[in-house]
A = this chain, B = another copy of it.
């Protein structure tokens, strides 16, 4: 029986490419591993996959129907994983996020580092196991680092991420800035997307104490273009809040050029969000100056107040 390798729901480039690359490393080490995905491939990731001529992993809804053992990359929180994650055995995790709600009955391999991207850890694992990085795998890992670090601008980006990216760019034979900007722009193109699509491209659910919080992020080069859809976005967020019983829905609209964000916020805990960020909410809009990283600048701040 195959071991399935997958990242989080509403997959981003790191989640998709890390699943592909880690499955490839495990295969080269003799394990019958297959990368799968839990959701749609976004525009940015599609650009990277096409550029390096790699097929997207297969979509799987219920992992327990296909596997006993699974490997998680780029996430660990059950709310962000397969709906039936409690019915399989998690044998490995490679991740760079906080650990929350994660539980196993037996010892496992867990590798987390506080770096900007899962791919930076994967690049180390190739070395530790003495496996050479192929051109395609290098290109995919590079894409993940560019994506998670917003081309090295995010505060989550470490020297290790930069060094890994430089190494991988040499193997992949691409110009980091040129390729990176083109890839980010492919993801930032919001043309033709509905409000419902916009709030779910990059959405993650978190449990913070007794609260259930959804934080979605949109990368754009034109925040006003997104805010023009304010009422439609809020309507979709309202639906999500009631359907998923959320205490808070925060949509972070990030200007990838200015490295700045504006939030739309909704839910019973919205005054706590105001308190957390020390900002006033006016017409559901909350300024998030200097914020570009959900992981480093949003989740810990909200957890402090809600957790």
Contact = CB atoms under 8 A, between A and B. Distances in A.
Interface of A: 96-114, 128, 295-296, 299-300, 303-304, 307
A307 B112 contact: no
A105 B98 contact: yes
Nearest to A208: B105
Chain A binding surface, main DSSP class: loop
A128 B129 CA distance: 11
29 contacts: A96-B107, A97-B107, A98-B104, A98-B106, A99-B103, A99-B104, A99-B108, A99-B110, A100-B104, A101-B103, A102-B102, A105-B299, A105-B303, A105-B307, A106-B114, A106-B296, A106-B300, A107-B112, A107-B113, A107-B114, A107-B295, A108-B114, A109-B114, A110-B110, A110-B111, A110-B112, A111-B111, A111-B112, A128-B128
A187 to B, nearest CB: 23
Given A99-B110, A109-B114, 12 more contacts: A99-B103, A99-B104, A100-B103, A100-B104, A102-B102, A105-B299, A105-B300, A107-B112, A107-B114, A110-B110, A111-B111, A128-B128
A110 B98 CA distance: 10
A98 B102 contact: no
| Top 9 A-B pairs, shortest CB-CB distance | A110-B112, A107-B114, A105-B303, A98-B104, A105-B300, A109-B113, A106-B300, A99-B104, A100-B103
A107 B111 contact: no
A304 B103 CA distance: 13
Contacts of A103: 99-101
A11 B78 CA distance: 31
A101 B106 CA distance: 13
Contacts of A128: 128
Nearest to A115: B107
A303 B103 CA distance: 11
Nearest to A304: B105
A111 B106 CA distance: 15
A7 to B, nearest CB: 16
A157 to B, nearest CB: 13
A251 to B, nearest CB: 22
Contacts of A110: 99, 110-113
Nearest to A295: B107
Contacts of A105: 98, 299-300, 303-304, 307
Nearest to A156: B107
A102 B110 CA distance: 13
Contact of A99 (B99, B300, B307): B99
A83 B107 CA distance: 23
